Structure 1
Amino acid sequence: MRINLEPVGIIKKAGKCSEVLIYSEFEQLIKNIATRLGNSDPAEQSLLIVHRNKDNKDIHQVQVTKTNIIDRVGNILKVGKIDANDDSVIDVRLNE
């Protein structure tokens, strides 16, 4: 079964890290994450990122990657390296 989902952002490689750009129409997603982080150090938190699976041989359409937050600037989350580039982001959640 194939499901069509609207992406909320995109993953970009940025040197030894990755950046998750959340589209402006989904800004509430970033606000929710920032609220839940509160005053804690973002580097102590991990994220679960649901994104498009780039492996065409795999029957799964999506992949879930756990990574650490390095920094947040506006609607860009700088995270640990993810094996993805230009992949659509479907969802981002704090790993609690």
Structure 2
Amino acid sequence: MRINLEPVGIIKKAGKCSEVLIYSEFEQLIKNIVSKMSKNEEAGRNLLIIHKNKLNNDIHQVQITKTNLIDWAGNILRVGKIDANDDSVIDVRLE
């Protein structure tokens, strides 16, 4: 069974880390995450990134990657390295 999911962002490689660009119409997602954290626990906080599986021959359409939040600016989350590039982001959750 195939499910069509609407992406909320995209993953981009950025040197030794990755960046999750959240589309402007879904910026509330970042606001919800930030509101659940205090200022002293921002860096190093674990996130779950749910994204499209880049392996076409895999039966699973999505992949869940656990990573740490380095920082964010506007609608860009800088996170630890994710083995994904140009993958569509479906959701971002605090662990």
* Superposed pair shares fold, TM > 0.5: yes
Q: Where does structure 1 lack aligned partners over 5 or more consecutive residues?
A: none
The alignment status of 1:15 with 2:15, answered yes or no, reads: yes
Superimposed CA distance per residue, residues 31-77 of structure 1 (whole angstroms, 9 cap, x where no aligned partner): 00110112233223100000000011210000000000000101000
Structure 2 SS opposite 1:69: strand
Q: What is the aligned-residue identity percentage?
A: 77
RMSD over aligned CA atoms reads 0.7
How many Å separate the matches in 1 of 2:44 and 2:67?
A: 11
Normalised to the residue count of structure 1, the TM-score between the two structures is: 0.96
Tell me the matched-pair count: 95
Q: Name the aligned partner's letter for residue 81 of structure 1.
A: K
Rounded Cα–Cα distance in structure 1 between residues aligned with 2:15 and 2:37:
25
Matching residue of 2:68: 68
Unaligned segments of structure 2, at least 5 residues = none
- Mapped to 2, the partners of 1:78 and 1:18 lie a distance apart of 6
Moved more, 42-51 or 19-28: 42-51
> Structure 1 segments of 4 or more deviating over 4 A?
none
- Structure 2 counterpart of 1:52, which letter? K
